[in-house]
Structure 1
Amino acid sequence: MIVLPLEGIMKNVYLFLILLTHLNLQAALRADDIIDNISHYFATGNSKELSDYFSSTVSLSILEDNNTYSKNQTEILLRNFFDKNNCRGAKIIHRMDTNANNRYAVLEIFSSTQKFRVSLSLKNFNSKFLITDIRIDKIK
């Protein structure tokens, strides 16, 4: 039987706790990154890059028009929206990213003549968060 001194055991426990804290911090940073990335693509009107974050079907509501669309259809409809509105920037208004299975974000996007509120819901699919719902409304 091998007996480790108490000092060695405590050192191993301490290292384990540091590693665990680091992994939790990394997971939290990744959660922030996805919302930041999505916000960036809305700000630049980049529907192609944004589509990498879509689930296979997306519930999409643009102004008063809403339906469930395939990933490709959603990308086309958002491209049309971005083309019409010339997005110039975005700001994250709210984010909820503490749930292991769901994320939620509210963005404000700016065009040359209008402001829009974008609500996003994301779900965890095999350790990857994908957008399942997008709602875009005018801010009056």
Structure 2
Amino acid sequence: MAKSLKMRNKNIVITFMSLLLVFSTFSGFAQTPEEKLIKNVQEALKSSSSRELVKYLHERVEIKLDNEKKDYSTNQAEIVLKQFFQKNPADSTEFIHEGNSDGGIIYAIGSYVSRNKKYRVVLRAKKYKADYKIYRLEFTEDR
């Protein structure tokens, strides 16, 4: 009897682990490329990582910090974003609205909160070759 119960418990554990593996595999496939981009950007912002964030930028990107808008190469953008993150390290960040247009442009709107200030963040991206890349990134201070 004890051996039968032990075998049954082992089968339950194996079944549970198999189901867990199946669901975790499918959940990774459920994300669209657009959702992955926004999730990855949000993680880069949370960690105030310019190095991580530039992975998702197009080779030419427009960055707006408050009311100053400029075009940058990815190398220049990394420097500008690094300086911004050093002055304003993230306490939290969250995208609250995401969408796409008929023209293939995706966007996300959210907040970036540092200990000093709160910013409204807007990103716009479109597909370049096989990947979505950000071509415009805006940080506007909430007043």
Work out whether the TM-score is over 0.5: yes
Match among 95, 110, 114 for residue 111 of structure 1:
114
Q: Distance in 1 between matches of 2:102 and 2:82?
A: 30
In structure 1, give the amino acid aligned to 2:87.
K
The residue type equivalent to 1:68 in the other structure is: D
Could you list the per-position Cα deviations for residues 22-58 of structure 1 after superposition, in whole angstroms to 9, with x for gaps in the alignment? xxx9475332121011011111101101100010100
Structure 2: how far apart are the matches of 1:66 and 1:80? 16
1:96 correspondence with 2:105: no
How large is the RMSD of aligned CA atoms in angstroms?
1.9
The aligned length equals 116
Note if contact 1:58-1:132 (Cα within 8 Å) is conserved in structure 2: yes
Q: List gaps (5 residues or longer) in structure 1.
A: 1-24
Equivalent position amino acid for 2:109 in 1: V
Residue 102 of structure 1: how far off its partner (Å): 1.6
Matches within 5 A, 1:41-120: 41-97=44-100, 101-120=104-123
- Equivalent pair of 2:33/2:132 in contact (CA under 8 Å): no
Q: What percentage of aligned pairs have identical amino acids?
A: 26
Unaligned runs of 5+ in 2: 1-27
Partner of 1:138: 141
Contact kept? 2:60, 2:71, Cα under 8 Å? yes
Query: Distance in 2 between the 1:90 and 1:61 partners?
Result: 17
Q: CA deviation at 1:88?
A: 1.6
> Counterparts in 2 of 1:1-40, with a 5 A limit?
26=29, 28-40=31-43
Which residue in the other structure is 1:13 paired with?
Answer: none
Asked if the contact 1:43/1:110 (under 8 Å) is kept, the reply is no
User: Taking structure 1 as the reference length, what is the TM-score of the superposition?
Assistant: 0.76
TM-score normalised by L of structure 2? 0.74
In structure 2, the CA distance between the partners of 1:102 and 1:27, relative to structure 1 (3 Å rule), is: farther
**Deviation, structure 1 residue 98:** 6.9
